[in-house]
Amino acid sequence: AQSVTQLGSHVSVSEGALVLLRCNYSSSVPPYLFWYVQYPNQGLQLLLKYTTGATLVKGINGFEAEFKKSETSFHLTKPSAHMSDAAEYFCAVSEINSGNTPLVFGKGTRLSVIA
Amino acid sequence: NAGVTQTPKFRILKIGQSMTLQCTQDMNHNYMYWYRQDPGMGLKLIYYSVGAGITDKGEVPNGYNVSRSTTEDFPLRLELAAPSQTSVYFCASRTVGQGATGELFFGEGSRLTVL
């Protein structure tokens, strides 16, 4: 069975500092990996995804994530935090091309950005 | 392009009442899902559907029912509402198979309070 662990339910960074949100996954088959962002009182929006190919993937708003198979990790980073990055971030895993196995989500990490 | 549309956005129910959360998508996706989101718990899958006429239980199906008579619509019914069903509900859809990346497209959510 698949699972996702997000380390840290709340991360606080200063504006301009590095953002690092951690995600580790468990999957018995090669995974598809996703990061979603949720702004207050809104739905979830796709930030970036890894399917196949290049292990460093770039997303919207300057975020990127690196798939490390040996570490079963897919950590999300951004070099310089902006106040508008304050939101909740969810990591998710899915088996490749399996609609019968829906995405499994982590519990989320709330990012606060301090001026 | 509307994507995934959920109604209503907000609803207050009394214990024991019933209601239906509506979800429709215009992307011709075969796969549709209902999640609930509770603070600090991430998203939990309630029910999903792999196509018209086919539904299956997710992680937390008790107290809910679904139907899928068309590709576009996937309503979620709450029977005999209980305070434990106070949550934010998200409908999502996706396509899988060759060339698809498996990402979920979310509606904006329906916030339900049971008093």
Strands, E assignment, B1-115 = 4-7, 10-13, 19-25, 31-37, 43-51, 54-57, 64-66, 76-78, 87-94, 105-106, 110-114
Shortest Cα distance, chain A CAs vs residue B80, angstroms: 26
> Is the pLDDT at A101 greater than 80, yes or no?
no
A97 → closest Cβ in B35, B58, B97? B97
User: Worst-scoring range by mean pLDDT, A59-63, A67-71, B101-105?
Assistant: B101-105
B42 → closest Cβ in A46, A49, A108? A108
> Is the pLDDT at A98 greater than 90, yes or no?
no
Q: Which of B10, B43, B56, B108 to mutate to test the interface with A (most CBs of A within 10 A)?
A: B43
Look at residue A100 in the predicted model and tell me its pLDDT.
63
Q: What is the pLDDT of residues A2-48, one digit of tens each?
A: 889 999 999 999 999 999 999 999 987 778 899 999 998 888 999 99
Look at residue B41 in the predicted model and tell me its pLDDT.
83
State mean pLDDT over B47-76.
95
> Is the pLDDT at A1 greater than 80, yes or no?
no
Strands of the A56-58 sheet, one edge to the other:
A3-7, A19-26, A73-78, A64-68, A56-58
| Residues in chain A closer than 8 A to B104 (CB atoms) | 34, 36, 44, 46, 92, 103
CB contact under 8 A, A46 and B108: no
Q: Which of A4, A41, A97, A98 to mutate to test the interface with B (most CBs of B within 10 A)?
A: A97
